[in-house]
Amino acid sequence: MNFTNLLYSVDAGIATITVNRPDKLNALNQATVRELEQAFLAAKADPAVRVVVMAGSGPKAFIAGADINELAQLTPVEALAFSRHGQRVMLTIEQLGKPVIARIQGFALGGGMELAMSCHLRIASDAAKLGQPEINLGIIPGFGGSQRLLRLAGRSAALELCLLGHSISADRAYQLGAVTRVVPADQLDAEVDKIAKQLAASARYAVDGVLSSVLVGGECSIEQGLDYESQAFALCCATEDKQEGRSARQTCQPQNVLLREKCPRQKFFSLGEDARKNLSFQQYVLLPVPGRRQTLRCRTNPSAAAAR
């Protein structure tokens, strides 16, 4: 794929999306945000892609924030549209159904930290600096920073970073839970590559099930989360991980999986392996169950409320 502000490549099941504006410290302007959405949707639709690595070009920055010059020209109406578009892109990344790894070197500020937090794993160089400095410009985070930082690091840390606007070290971000792992700068590429290859070689439905179960569980009650996990577990047991060739792994058989009678999810078990490759846990675990109020589905997909 050809982009103006991004580099996009796929190799051995790993898609690498790189913001390529090193002269601007990879700042996010509207054009770049649009291209990010296109790139992640392409990665989602490509069955050859098993994992995505999100990176920034050059040694100085992952993404240093929004393009301040462009931001200064936005009217309130345009700013609202820009914020909502950015939030939609971050949700696309978070709900991609494939693991996304943020490779963080240098500055990850403002929109850069927001983008990193929407990724499932965040591997940072020990020289990286992260923060939400928007308050220093008289604004607040607009791409979900206040919400994801709250969920990852807690209320106290979210208020500290968003109110004081200072940057923190990668080690401090790790202590807060905003970063998954910190490695020496000269080992960053090797560490990201190792993790990406491990995920690319893992069972597709198991990876999908972990992602969806954790994300859904963070937005619902423990009872609803446990129910979702059980259904995801059942779907994993309905598949055979043939392409990985792990014959030593003990697998369940579809006929041994018990689901509610007449549940629409049962159609999953009548599908062939090829048909299952294009299905996600969201499509099956969140299908309505006859006679049951669909609270979980409505919280994760409000537009489905009318179909209850």
| Residues acting as catalytic residues | 114, 134
Q: Is residue 81 within 8 Å of residue 107, measured between CB atoms?
A: no
Quickly tell me which residue has 């923060």 as its tokens: 131
- Closest by alpha carbon to 87, among 144, 145, 158, 30? 144
Q: Can you tell me the distance from the alpha carbon of 235 to that of 143, in angstroms, rounded to the nearest whole number?
A: 33
Burial of 31: CB neighbours in 10 Å, binned 0-12, 13-18, 19+: middle
The CB density around residue 38, as the number of other CB atoms within 10 Å, is 15
Contacts of 217 (CB under 8 A, 6+ apart): 225, 228, 229
Order of strands across the sheet that contains 107-109: 61-63, 107-109, 129-131, 167-169
**DSSP symbols for 211-244:** HHHHHHHTTS-HHHHHHHHHHHHHHHHT---TTT
Tokens matching residue 264: 């629409």
Q: Can you tell me the distance from the alpha carbon of 167 to that of 108, in angstroms, rounded to the nearest whole number?
A: 9
Q: Is residue 61 within 8 Å of residue 117, measured between CB atoms?
A: no
- Closest by alpha carbon to 182, among 142, 226, 126? 126
Contacts of 87 (CB under 8 A, 6+ apart): 142, 143, 144
Cα angle, residue 300 at apex, residues 296 and 301 outer, rounded to 5°:
110
